[in-house]
Every structure is written in C-alpha cells, then in structure tokens.
Chain A
Amino acid sequence: MIKSLLLFHEPQVKKPFILTEDSGNVNSGNTNTGEDSAKTGENKEPSRRKKNENLLLKKVEKIKLTDRRERNQKDQKSDISRQLSENLKTIEERFSASLNGDLIIRQFDITVKDSTIAAFLVFFDGLVNTKVIDDDILQPLMLLSNLDIKGDRDDILKYIRSHILPHNQLKEVRTHQELIDEVYFGGCGLYIDGLDAAFAADVKDLPGRSVERPNNELVIRGPQEGFTENLRANTGLIRKRLMDQNLIAENIIIGNRSKTPCSIMYIKDIANETLVNEVKRRLKNIDVDYIMDTGELEQFIEDNPTLPAPQILATERPDRVCTMLAEGRVAIIMHGSPFALVVPITSNDIMYSAEDQFLRFPYSNLLRFIRILAILMSLLLPGIYLAITNYHHEMIPTDLLLAIMSAREKVPFPSVVEVFLMEISFELIREAGIRIPGPIGPTLGIIGALILGQAAVEANIVSPILIIVVAVTGLGSFAIPNFSAGFAFRILRFAFIMLAALSGFLGITVGLILIGLWMVSAKSFGVPYFAPIAPRTSGGFTDAIFKSPAWKQEKRPDYINAKQQKMQPRISRKWALANENNQAGGDNTGDQNG
C-alpha cells in the first residue's frame, strides 16, 4: 500500500476501439503517434502486474467458457423425446404449468391412416393470436384423418410441414429450449407423438400501441410516424422507408433471463465492417440478467460512462434512423423500447433536429444558428451574469450596471445564492410539470413559475433581472433538440455557475477549456466526438455545422469511414443540365432555321 503510494507506477494503457478503414485490424489506430510508440516499448517489458491481470482475465474467460459449455450441454440433454408424455412432463416442468395461469396446453389427436396420434399445443394466452392458432394450426391438424399419407410414419414431420400446416412462419426445432424461447416471444409450440422434433409457429399478437406521432421529436415538415414498443413493427417502419436490398437486420438476444430480442440494422455495402463487428462484440458481451429499454442498453455499450454528453443517439423517429443508416451508421433496436440507438455520433448530431433534413437549407441553417445560440445561453448565461455582476463591472454600460445594482439593493443574499435559488426552483418546476399527469402539468408549471417569480421579486429574495436571466436560460435549454444533451447542459450549467462565482470569467474560461479537453478526447464507437471539427477531417462532408443544399451533399461523413464515400454524383440535378443542352440545341436549330 505504502509502496504503491510512494513509488511511481507505469500507467495502464487502455486500447480503445478506433474506427478505421481497415476492417481486419479492430484496435489499430494511427501508428505514427508517440502514444503508440510508447505502447510498443511497453510490450517489450511487460510488468508483473500486467501478467497477473492477464492470468486473471484468462481464468475468468475459462470460467465463462465452462459455464457456456455446461449450459449448452444442459440444452443438448433436453432433446425432444419421441414419447409425447415425456415431452408434456418436461414442458409442464419448464413452464411451471401448475403455477402459470396464462399458460395454455391444448391436447388433441391427429388421425393418420387408421391410427390416432396424440399431440399438444403450448402457448401463452395474451401473447398470441388465438384465431390464427384455430384456423391455421388446430383446424388443419384435426382434419388430417381423411388425408392419404404415402410413405412411413417418419415422413409425417415433413408432410405436416409442407402439406398440412398452412401457417407462414413455421420453424422446426430440435430442443425444448429453442421452443421455449419461441413461446416466450409470442410463438406456439406443437409436439406430436412419435417425433423427435417439434414445431414452433410464430403466431404473436403482442399487446401494444399502434404507430403514433413521436412525442419528443416533433416536426412540422416531415414524416409523423414514431417507433413503438414492438421490435418487428420498428424494423418494418425502417424497411418501409429504406427499400435497399443491402439493408440488414441481424437478430441478437440480450439478457440472460429477460432474453430481450434486439436487431442490429445497417446497410451491408455502406457501413464499415469494423464498426458493425464492434457493435456486435459489445452487444454480445453484455452479461446481465434483465434489460428493459435502450436507455439501459446505452449505458452498457457507451465508450465513456462519465462523460456528461450522450455518445449514442436515441431517437424515436424511423426517418432519422434511415438517414443515419444511409450515411453508414449502425442502428440498434430493442423489443419493448420506442427508442432506437444509432452509433457512432458526434457532437453535431445532438444539435440537429430531424426537421433539418426536410427544410430548405437557408431555413435549417437559421434554425441551427438559433440552436447553437440556445446551447450557449443554456450553458453560460447564469455564469456570465454572475461574472459581470461580481467581477467585471466594466463590461456593461454604466446605466445598466446601476439598474442591476439598484434592483439588487434590497436583496439580502449574494448573487450566487440568488442564482442557485432560482435555478433549483426552475428545475423543480420543470420536474414537477413532467410528473403531474395529463394536460395540467405544463399549465401548472407555467403558472407556478410566474407566481413564484413574481412573489420572489416582491419578497426581495431575488432581483427582477435574474428572473429574466433564468427564464432565457430555461428557454435556451428547451431549444436543445436532444433530450440527453439537454441534461448534459443542465448539469454543466451548475458547474459554470460555481466557477463564475469563484473567479468570474477566468473560472468560465478554465471550465470551458477543461470541458473542451474532456469532450475532444471522447469517442463514440471509435469516432472522435468533435469530428469533423477536432480532429479536422477534409472529406467534403457538407452537413457538419451548417447545412448545404440537398443537391450539394455529395459525400458521406468521412469520419464514419463508410465503404462508399460518395452519396450522389457531383451533378445530381441533371435536369438542369439537360434543360441547358435542350435550350442550346433549340437555339442552334433556331439559328439554323433562321
């Protein structure tokens, strides 16, 4: 302990994921940096501590492997028996049939030739469409008696699959576990006596809401559909818009117990393979019992858990996901969550609204400018007020200074206490407004704010000018289009208030430098958070800060390292060119005629 405190220890060099063009080398970054040369030096002289760590890691991996093997062996042991009674017993045991009130086990007979074969169906009431089960599974099977089956009984499995069951999604399963997983996700299991396999039919009719307008990302111009809690409905909403044959939706299960189905979506010939593999690697290496929402998932896969700003975009708009997929990013959709996650993102992505894409470029640029202003106000305005009133009086006109001072004359607290009091009250009103049910919430919030502000001024607790500052700050924070980013700026605002109270503009500058360093060093799935500004990339991406016209957006963001950099040709408005040619041709003809 004393040794570790007194002596310098070699810092552990983490090897973060860096998104490169090379798909084979996942962890390779810029090889010319001094940091990397240090890494090579470190590799030559591996310390004892590192060796121990490696040994520990190997042990953990071994334990995990044996665990997996045991699990697999267990699954292999529970192979489906040819005896229906055994299968029934297993299913009743595995599903805790005596306790589960919503589990339905329907036993019936199938008559084939002259003999009767026993069978049973298993499903959960409330997860399935019972009409589909009646019409597409039970009815055809129970009417089998009149059918002439050629061949021996072993062909029954194939025959039932190809001739009897008209259901469109029928899966042959060999283990009970496979069938159980299907049944939990709205499937229906069918066991037939004498067969060592079973059928799992997808008859899901999961309770849930229909496609509605997104609640948090409203736009005036643009699609009005939002994601729902249903995975397949969500992937369908994306496929509906992005009819690209290379659009892939890979299934993955997360949660050891919850077994939450997720979908990784990307465009095969655009998205960087390294990125797709990294997303899969992170998702597959989540060892958790239950996972309920993408909000939780985001925390499991993000690069810097302590960074205030979000490193993964959560959106409830399918059109936004489609746009980002077309740029070469990867989307993660989770069953039960109306938010899709998109990776990687940069600081610019959290400042843009989905509407930017659908508006003409002068309009969206105006909105972007206003948003940047709003972010600055939300972050710095109370701090600047404190710095000016406490330290830098000379920065404002004397008349304004006198007005501020006379307004503060009767206030007994220092201005920092005033600011904290009002900011905390504002946050309280905002939080209470969200929690109050129905349409009363926002109304009560506004009324509360007005009454509280007025009363606070009249009671000489705060000065009227501070009410204006807090109100403008609040408006600025509402103009931030990303929900998570709004939180980040709210947290940082308090830090800036403290810094400004301690040392005025010097404190604010120090804060800005520190936060700038923190942000610039951050990465989102291997992409620098401030790209394409820091590091400066020069790929001709024209939607970085201010937006170019739609016809000018020729390239994908170069920091994503997409397989295809070009999005559209240099001249995409070919009609204009054709028109010129025609006109020229017409003029020539005219001249000739003339």
Chain B
Amino acid sequence: MMSIGYIALIGLLLCIATYTASFGVWTWKRKNRFGAFMIFLVAVTVVALPVYILLFREA
C-alpha cells in the first residue's frame, strides 16, 4: 500500500523530472539533439528507477 511519504517523494521526483525535461526541450530547440535525448533519458530515469525500486521490486 502506498503511504503519503511515497506520494510526496514521487511528486518531488516528478517536479525534478519536469524541470529536467524542460531543459531537454531547450537543448532540443538549440539543435543539440543528442544532448536533448540524453537529458530526456535522465528525466525518465529520475522517476522510473525510484518508482520501480519503491513499488515493484520485491524485497
């Protein structure tokens, strides 16, 4: 069961990921496609990895 702590943590991670993704957009606009792709990857990882560890991985 998800506690309030988990929700707060995921919310914080989403904020970080949003900021990172917006930086990725800015990088994409400046024609640094590879850099932007890597930043998007980081943004996704920032959320996906903790979420997987917290919710799906069996102890």
A→B interface (CB under 8 Å): 5-8, 10, 41, 45
Contact = CB atoms under 8 A, between A and B. Distances in A.
A5 B19 CA distance: 8
Contacts of A41: 30
A247 to B, nearest CB: 50
Contacts of B15: 5-6
Interface string B1-42: 000000000000001001100110110011000000000000
A8 B19 contact: yes
A7 B22 contact: yes
A45 B31 CA distance: 13
B22 A8 contact: yes
B18 A7 contact: yes
Contacts, number: 16
Secondary structure call for the A interface: loop
Contact of A10 (B18, B19, B26): B26
Size range of the chain B interface in the assembly: under 10
16 contacts: A5-B15, A6-B15, A6-B18, A6-B19, A6-B22, A7-B18, A7-B19, A7-B22, A8-B19, A8-B22, A8-B23, A8-B25, A8-B26, A10-B26, A41-B30, A45-B29
Contacts of A7: 18-19, 22
Interface of chain B: mostly helix, strand, loop or mixed: helix
A481 B15 CA distance: 51
Nearest to B20: A8
Contacts of A45: 29
A5 B25 CA distance: 16
A406 to B, nearest CB: 51
A361 B26 CA distance: 56
A38 to B, nearest CB: 8
Sort A-B residue pairs by CB-CB distance and give the 4 closest, nearest first. A8-B23, A7-B22, A8-B22, A6-B18
A45 B30 CA distance: 10
Nearest to B15: A6
A379 B10 CA distance: 45
A7 B18 CA distance: 7
Nearest to A6: B18
A6 B23 CA distance: 10
Contacts of A6: 15, 18-19, 22
A169 to B, nearest CB: 62
A92 to B, nearest CB: 66
A45 B29 CA distance: 10
A413 B30 CA distance: 57
Given A6-B18, A8-B19, 7 more contacts: A5-B15, A6-B22, A7-B18, A7-B19, A8-B23, A8-B25, A8-B26
